[in-house]
Amino acid sequence: MQDIIILKDVYKIYTMGEVEVAALNGVSLTIRKGEFVAIMGASGSGKSTLMNILGCLDSPTKGKYCLEGLEVSRFSKNELAEIRNKKLGFVFQSFNLLSRTTVIENIELPLIYRKRISKRDTDNIHQMIRILGLDGLQKHYPNQLSGGQQQRVAIARAIVNDPALLLADEPTGNLDSATSKDVMNVLSGLNHNRGITIVLVTHETDIAGYARRVIVLKDGKVLSDTPSQTFTTPLPQTPCETTP
């Protein structure tokens, strides 16, 4: 199985006046293609900093970060922006949909930045709309959707470029418990049925249970890295399953 992420002795040090603070303190880990990994930790543990580095939104102070064999820790800001557009998909707590843009236009946004939408892209979008249960909502605006529907649109937008890695940062933070389960079943189904590699940041144990592997951070270090003890198998009939 291919290694998607390799971190070797990664440090992220912030200077506050004359004081240096290590948000990450020698983190090493490998994530392979098709894995679903949850990252947990208390506030200040380094999980948000780690997510920013994995998402090429920030660079390590020291150490190496390889994404699909590319040492992106040495890339310039412009090169990192290109990597984000081509290889990464993001799902956030706040959805981050464009309010004056329809569902279909929000989903197409990464392809518009790429300056081309092929017939294959269009077919893929229609398939994702069906898989994610968004049929009939293509011309709706975000304020006409429920929180769960908005997050489904955000997930569709995140994977429309067929990214190597999907990063989900507290994706259920603004949702009630029932809708959270629905969204997590969508993510779990995408991993289980389509083999999408997912890294999820959460502080909720039940949400982490949808992952197959849980990494716990403390004081900028990996405290534990174990298979999920409560792995939640996707439901037999989920919105992520395609019909024959």
Residue 136 has pLDDT above 70, yes or no: yes
What average pLDDT does this structure show over 102-128? Answer: 84
Query: How long is the chain?
Result: 244
Q: What is the CA radius of gyration of the chain?
A: 18
Residue 156 has pLDDT above 80, yes or no: yes
Can you give the pLDDT at residue 232? Answer: 61
Residue 150, φ and ψ in degrees, nearest 5 = -60, -40
Can you give the pLDDT at residue 27? Answer: 97
One-letter amino acid at 6 equals: I
What average pLDDT does this structure show over 115-144? Answer: 88
Beta strands 3-16 and 62-67, pairing class: antiparallel
Average pLDDT over the chain, rounded to whole? 89
Can you give the pLDDT at residue 205? Answer: 93
Can you give the pLDDT at residue 239? Answer: 42
What average pLDDT does this structure show over 54-73? Answer: 94
- Read off the tokens for 117: 């939408």
One-letter amino acid at 14 equals: Y
Can you give the pLDDT at residue 61? Answer: 95
In Å, what is the CA distance from 156 to each residue of 32, 51, 126, 139, 162?
Answer: 22, 20, 10, 15, 10
| More confident call, 8 vs 233 | 8
Q: Give the span between the Cα atoms of 236 and 51, in whole angstroms.
A: 31
Residue whose entry in the numeric block shows the structure tokens 């930790």: 41
Contact 142, 154 (CB under 8 A): no
Please count the other Cβ atoms lying within 10 Å of the Cβ belonging to residue 43: 7
Residue whose entry in the numeric block shows the structure tokens 């040492």: 71
pLDDT, tens digit (0-9, with 9 covering 90-100), for 181-224: 999 999 999 999 889 999 999 999 999 999 999 999 999 999 99
pLDDT, tens digit (0-9, with 9 covering 90-100), for 30-58: 999 999 999 999 989 999 999 999 999 99
pTM: 0.88
Helix ranges (H only) for the chain are: 47-54, 77-87, 103-113, 119-131, 147-159, 177-194, 205-208
- Read off the tokens for 57: 């939104």
- The full set of domains in the chain, from first to last, is 33-51+76-227 (3.40.50.300)
Can you give the pLDDT at residue 236? Answer: 44
